[in-house]
Amino acid sequence: MNQPAPSDSKAQWRRWAKNKRSGLPIDRYSDSLVAQLENWSLYREAQHVLLYLAFGSEIDLAALHEDTSKTFYVTRTWSGRENLSLHPLSAGLERHPYGYLQPSEDAPLADASGLELALVPGLCFDKRGTRLGYGKGYYDRLLPGLNAQTPRVGITSEALIVPALPREPFDIPMTHLLSETSLYKLH
């Protein structure tokens, strides 16, 4: 499958990115990404970090959970709601009906404006920091709640960093991209 053009639809880009990612050894990238994060000054200095709980073929950063010097936060998807809620990882997890882990229903809420670093999953990213997600807009609604100075790090494979993706006015660009080989500062 050929890489779409920047003018192609996000649906075309999603099909391409899912197909591309299915052929990558994603499970081998986790150790490299975690090591890069642990050696990065912005990660070391941050106390309150947005993390995601990997699902399917997403790069798994679960090894970071061992870092007791930080408070990690993760999102919860609510049935019938369009917004993610944010909760401390330490509050406990339950399995969503679609199979992924998320904070339990009674987990305390957290405020995104207090985060000092955001590690953000995506299907694909471009060199300007544009993120292509799964199409539900959850992170598009979550990211504006971050402090404007909070670094937003797109977690991806080098093979899924492209020159340009379609960009909508509501897309919040990443400030950094982290792949199995490099950490890029974009802004």
* Residues 87-113: tens digit of each pLDDT: 999 988 988 887 888 898 899 999 999
Residues 6+ apart with CB under 8 A from 136: 82
Enclosing domain of residue 28 = 10-185
Please indicate, yes or no, if residue 2 is contained in any of the structural domains: no
Query: What is the rounded distance in angstroms from the CA atom of residue 117 to the CA atom of residue 71?
Result: 11
Strand bridging mode 93-95 / 152-155: unpaired
Please indicate, yes or no, if residue 4 is contained in any of the structural domains: no
Task: Write the DSSP string, 125-176.
Answer: EETT--EE--SS-HHHHHGGGS-TTS-EEEE--GGGEES-----TT----SE
Instruction: For residue 49, count other CB atoms closer than 10 A to its CB.
Output: 22
pLDDT of residue 80: 67
- pLDDT of 49 higher than 90: yes
User: What is the average pLDDT score of the chain?
Assistant: 92
Nearest-5° angle of CA 93, CA 96, CA 100?
80
pLDDT of residue 73: 95
Summarised one tens digit per residue, pLDDT across range 56-95 is 889 999 999 999 999 999 999 887 677 888 999 998 898 8
Please indicate, yes or no, if residue 96 is contained in any of the structural domains: yes
3-state SS class at 96: coil
Please indicate, yes or no, if residue 165 is contained in any of the structural domains: yes
Q: Model-level pTM? A: 0.94
Please indicate, yes or no, if residue 49 is contained in any of the structural domains: yes
- Number of structural domains the chain divides into: 1
* CATH number of the domain encompassing residue 67: 3.40.50.10420
